[in-house]
Chains A and B, each alone.
Chain A
């Protein structure tokens, strides 16, 4: 049951119907894959935003940074 809970935590929602047929280890592995993918997305987004900012015309940079919340 721990695997199911971890997978649902990773998804932020109850699993789709039928997925609970997977065993605990398999669900835990899926949870890990989803968590890794989410972490990678966040890192990629942060890095890309920082790189993008350096290409924005200098005059507009403060406004863009403000909207980005930086």
Chain B
């Protein structure tokens, strides 16, 4: 397996742990399935868990339409665990979801973001007020929830990506987030938002933590121009993998 494949396996196992409320130990044996099969398994489990109670969830949504959005959000936040609201969000029309989201607290949205299915919320995210998205990303970052950070960054609209990446203030958090990124094709876009000084800080962090294997795996997935930029910065700083 390549370095990138190793990162995908780790990310998929973390997602399965969260979905099944299982420990890393419970699922470690699944590593040998490799990245492609493991991703297929995780997607299947996610679809099963998000779809099995569809009728009951749709009944809750139908009931919610009898009430004003502000009251729905207030009741949901007081009585629904975020994992349940995340499933409901996936069944809502994007416009109504975006309207309701405006009534939730940042903390609740950060918890909810950890459980949403990316496909289900992809149409919602671009409709959110930028400040809501940034506040949630900052809160998720503060919690050190790199899996959810990776999901949010992967779904962020192009014109919000730079601010979202800037909201991840710690360089180590940024590297961890990149390793768990939901949409690997956005790695180049992310690096493109980083000023040279931040690239330098990221490279120093990689060196301090001995994360060169991860860094090389991420570099594999960068477009040639961004890879050349990062390599040039590392060369200038005299940094690189040992040996």
Interfacial residues, chain A to chain B (CB-CB below 8 A): 10-13, 15-19, 21-22, 26, 29, 33-34, 36-38, 40-42, 44-45, 48-49, 51-52, 55-57, 60, 63-64, 67-69
Contact = CB atoms under 8 A, between A and B. Distances in A.
A55 B78 contact: yes
Contacts of B34: 18
Interface in B170-220: none
Interface residues of B, number: 40
B76 A52 contact: yes
A19 B45 CA distance: 12
Q: Is the interface of A mostly helix, strand, loop or mixed?
A: helix
Nearest to A29: B26
Interface string B61-81: 011001100010011101111
B62 A67 contact: yes
B40 interface: yes
B20 A48 contact: no
Contact of B56 (A10, A37, A45, A51): A45
A61 to B, nearest CB: 10
Interface in B34-50: 34, 36-37, 40-41, 43-45, 48-49
Contact of B79 (A13, A26, A51, A60): A51
A12 B79 contact: no
Contacts of A34: 20, 45, 48-49
Contact of B59 (A36, A44, A48, A68): A68
B49 A37 contact: yes
A49 B41 CA distance: 30
B84 interface: yes
A60 B66 contact: yes
A48 B44 contact: no
A17 to B, nearest CB: 6
Given A18-B36, A41-B87, A44-B83, 17 more contacts: A11-B48, A15-B44, A17-B37, A18-B37, A21-B33, A21-B37, A33-B20, A34-B45, A37-B19, A37-B20, A38-B48, A38-B49, A38-B52, A48-B81, A55-B79, A67-B59, A67-B63
Residue from A13, A34, A48, A60 with most neighbouring chain B CB atoms (10 Å): A48
A63 B66 contact: yes
A52 B75 contact: yes
B119 interface: no
